[in-house]
Chains A and B, each alone.
Chain A
Amino acid sequence: MPLLDIQDLHLEFGTGADAVRAVDGLSLTIAEGETLGLVGESGCGKSVTALSITRLVPAPPARYTSGRILLDGKDVLKMEQSKLRHIRGKMVSYIFQEPGSSLNPVFRVGSQIKESLQLHRPEMATDSEVIRLLKLVGIPAPELRIKDYPHQMSGGMQQRIMIAMALASEPRLLVADEPTTALDVTIQAQILDLLRDLKQRLRMSILLITHNLGIVGDIADRVAVMYAGQVVELAPARDLLQRPLHPYTQALMNSVPKLGREAGRLQSIPGTVPAVGAFPSGCRFHPRCPKAQPDCSKKVPELIEVEPSRFVRCPYWSHGKL
Chain B
Amino acid sequence: MGQFLIKRVLHMIPILLGVSLLTFLLLDLTPGDYFTALENNPQITKERLDQLRAKWHLDESWYVQYGYWIKNLWFANGKLGDLKSQWNKEADGRVWRVIKHAVMPDFGDSLQYKQPSSQLITLRLWNTFMLSLMAMILAWGIALPLGIWAAVKKDSWVDRSCSGIAFLGLSIPEILLGLLALMFAYSTGWFPIGGVESDMYYGVDEWSIPRLMDRFHHLLLPAAVLAASSLAGLMRQMRSNLLDTLRAEYVTTARAKGLGEGWVIYKHALRNAINPLLTIFGYSLAHLLSGAFIVENVMSWPGLGRLTLEALQQQDYPLVVAAVLMATALLMAGNFVADLLLAWSDPRIRLEK
A48 CB contacts on chain B under 8 angstroms? none
Q: Which residues of A contact B347 (CB under 8 A)?
A: 105-106, 108, 149, 151
Residues of chain A lying within 8 A (CB to CB) of residue B259:
85, 89, 115, 119
Q: B346 on the interface (CB 8 Å rule)?
A: yes
| Residue in contact with B260 in the complex, picked from A85, A96, A101, CB distance below 8 Å | A85
Q: How many pairs, one residue from A and one from B, have CB atoms within 8 Å of each other in the complex?
A: 70
Interface residues of B, CB < 8 Å — how many? 20
Q: Does A98 sit within 8 A of B, measured CB to CB?
A: yes
| B272 in contact with A105 (CB, 8 Å) | yes
Determine whether the beta carbon of A103 is less than 8 Å from that of B256: no
B253 in contact with A96 (CB, 8 Å): yes
Q: Collect the chain A residues with CB atoms within 8 Å of residue B255's CB.
A: 56, 88
* Complex: chain A residue closest to B253, CB-CB: A102
**Assembled-state Cα–Cα distance A56/B249 (Å):** 12
Q: A120: CB under 8 A from chain B?
A: yes
In the complex, whether B268 has a CB less than 8 A from a CB of chain A is yes
Q: Complex: how many Å from CA A90 to CA B256? A: 9
Bound Cα distance A317, B9 (Å): 78
Contacts of B254 in A (CB 8 A): 104
Q: Which residues of B contact A162 (CB under 8 A)?
A: 253
Shortest CB-to-CB span from A107 to chain B, Å, is 8
A94 part of interface (Cβ distance < 8 Å): yes
Contacts of A81 in B (CB 8 A): 261
Chain A binding surface, main DSSP class? mixed
In this complex, which of B253, B259, B268 has the most chain A Cβ atoms within 10 angstroms of its Cβ? B253
Q: Complex Cα distance A103/B251, Å?
A: 9
In the assembled complex, the CB of B92 is this many whole angstroms from the nearest CB of chain A, namely: 51
Q: Is B161 an interface residue (CB 8 A)?
A: no
Q: Does B348 reach chain A (CB closer than 8 Å)?
A: yes
A243 within 8 A of B: no
Residues on the B chain within 8 Å of A103, using CB: 250, 253
How far in angstroms is the closest Cβ of chain A from B14? 33
Asked whether B78 is an interface residue with its Cβ less than 8 Å from the other chain, the reply is no
Shortest Cβ-Cβ A-B pairs, 6 listed: A89-B258, A88-B258, A104-B250, A149-B347, A94-B256, A89-B257
**Can you name 23 A-B pairs with beta carbons within 8 Å?**
A54-B256, A85-B258, A86-B258, A89-B256, A89-B257, A89-B258, A90-B258, A94-B253, A94-B256, A96-B252, A98-B249, A102-B250, A103-B250, A104-B268, A105-B272, A106-B272, A106-B346, A108-B347, A115-B257, A116-B257, A116-B258, A162-B253, A165-B253
